[in-house]
Structure 1
């Protein structure tokens, strides 16, 4: 079983005030410093509504120095739909989903946009299936495109219990903090240096035999790869590993800059390396 998650971090509407402003509940982990003055879409019953997400408070022109330094919590953010309160209540209800707006684009050799976590891995898995089309594999291969990973690995849990795999492989992104202001020891991975082979994160320790197998295969085939130790975070691999009596599992990690923002960036070399290594292992 190979699992990549389709869901993205976002929000749902939790309250509509008497002026028609929406308050939100976060779905996934946000750094609120990246949420100021963002375009959003509210997915209402009658259709998509464009909105502006921003925190409550004074603009910089009239804020005190202390107020300018304050980092708001998610509960302080609101959405302005530009409609009267009655119009908002007629179209929006509690629980409607909210997504951040951002177009994907190429930036040099990077692919940049929102929800690379984890749709870049969805792409990787689709390309793997395309490369294996028509071939006879030694084992049955189940490709899972899961949901609700960002709120607790939920889809992969139910999928793993249904599939009952013998071997599990999670596909997800990982930190590439190879940017100014961060010591090399905290970078986790580096963009353009190959697919990450996860050794450890806070939810799983990859099966050592699988780590060795993938690493040795990458070295033998000349596929760029790097070993990854992530102090926090988790993937679908953890859900597979913990299902039933336990499943030997490994996660392949796509190095990504600016995770959980709308400018998540992955490198084309790492994408290709991920496909090549996964195809080599499955063959």
Structure 2
């Protein structure tokens, strides 16, 4: 049920918001032989429809986003260094010394003023974004311009590691959700379902907003990853959720008050599927549900997330067991929602 090789291909494909082509092409290759129909929206989201054994009583859409956080080149200095802006919410504390790829194949590293040249008060602070740069080894502006230009996407380089029952990689948010939906499309469905692989979640929920308008669902399940923070130095009440505790079900975040009946139904689905799940113990963050649940006349929406450490960084971590549990829960929940009258 869990295809780690597929997830590795998804996570190592490069696709910051607005540059999801490589990820989209990979997904299309996986689903086109199985889907009943596939449509690409003007913004680049995939809308896939697959017929099941029967027509649903409730028109259900599943959603996961293809894009990842990253950076974008804004300028090139006379010395050949690249200035950049972040694409999506990245903690600048994790950036110094991180290897990156600019465009498709130009290697670089995020740099800053050497530590031995810092004033004492500077050593205690994270480096402001304006003082960071990407070094691709160019001697001057002219050499750099022969390889890159402003507007080029920048993605983190990272491992894909499956040791110790965990998954460590960049872009698990939300390629893990994409992998779950691909598996559903490739399998047998009890009910007709719509699947949206959305673009530009990290920069404004744009792909899901337009796709939901096109699909006109009555209900939606959003597959996501959410910050676990169950690490040293964080009190239990601030950990939000725990890696290894199963899929995370949200009752509210900064953009969405989730459907109360579906929230309860998710826990029933977990019990029926024989897997663990947990409530998200905070009103924080947000995801594509923020756009979907207010589409047209409104869409009843539930979010099923993976607890994830080090979200929006070069390497995130999730549990393999959580992935499998979430996958089983979502399949059960989809049948329950689609089949309700």
* TM-score past 0.5 threshold: yes
CA distance in 2, matches of 1:188, 1:129: 31
Structure 1 position 281, deviation (Å): 2.1
Structure 1 counterpart of 2:178: 122
Q: Which residue of 1 aligns with 2:11?
A: none
- Give how far 1:118 is off: 1.0
Assess, with a 3 A threshold, how the Cα gap between structure 1 residues 169 and 104 changes in structure 2: closer, same or farther: same
- 2:334 and 2:297 mapped to 1: Cα distance? 24
Q: TM-score, normalised by structure 2?
A: 0.77
Following superposition, the deviation at residue 240 of structure 1 comes to: 0.8
> Aligned with 2:207: secondary structure?
helix
CA contact (8 A) 1:171 1:235 kept: no
| Secondary structure, counterpart of 2:256 in structure 1 | coil
Task: Please give the TM-score of this superposition, normalised by the length of structure 1.
Answer: 0.92
The alignment partner of 1:191 has SS state of coil
1:77 alignment partner in structure 2:
132
Unpaired runs of at least 5, structure 1? none
Q: Is 1:29–2:124 an aligned residue pair?
A: no
1:156 aligns with 2:211: no
Q: CA deviation at 1:107?
A: 3.4
Instruction: Provide closer, same or farther for how the CA distance between residues 14 and 184 of structure 1 changes in structure 2, counting only shifts above 3 A.
Output: same
Within 5 Å, give how 1:165-244 maps onto structure 2: 165-244=217-296
Larger mean CA deviation between 212-221 and 97-106 belongs to 212-221
The answer on whether the counterparts of 2:63 and 2:221 sit within 8 Å (CA) in structure 1 is yes
Question: Is residue 90 of structure 1 aligned with residue 150 of structure 2?
Answer: no
Determine the C-alpha separation between the residues in 1 that align with 2:165 and 2:272: 26
Structure 1 residue 166: Cα displacement: 0.9
Are 2:338 and 1:282 equivalent residues in the alignment? Answer: no
1:198 is displaced (CA, Å) by 1.2
Once residues 271 and 246 of structure 2 are traced to their aligned partners in structure 1, the CA distance between those partners, rounded to angstroms, is 11
Alignment of 1:49 onto 2:135: no
Cα shift readout 1:101-120 (whole Å, capped 9, x = no counterpart): 11211231110011111111
Preserved contact between residue 273 and residue 328 of structure 2 (Cα < 8 Å): no
- Cα deviation for residue 73 of structure 1 reads 2.2
CA distance in structure 2 between the aligned counterparts of 1:108 and 1:68, rounded to whole angstroms: 35
* Corresponding residue SS for 1:149: coil
**2:73 corresponding residue in structure 1:** 13
Q: Confirm or deny: 8 A CA contact 1:200 1:229 kept in the other structure.
A: no
| 1:169 and 1:250 in contact (8 A); partners too | yes
The size of the alignment, in residue pairs, is 274
Give the whole-Å Cα distance in 2 for the aligned partners of 1:16 and 1:238. 36
Q: After superposition, what is the alpha-carbon deviation per residue over 1:110-147, rounded to whole angstroms, capped at 9, x for unaligned?
A: 100111111111122223333xx23441xx31111111
- Structure 2 gaps of 5+ residues are 1-60, 336-341
SS state at 2:72 partner = strand
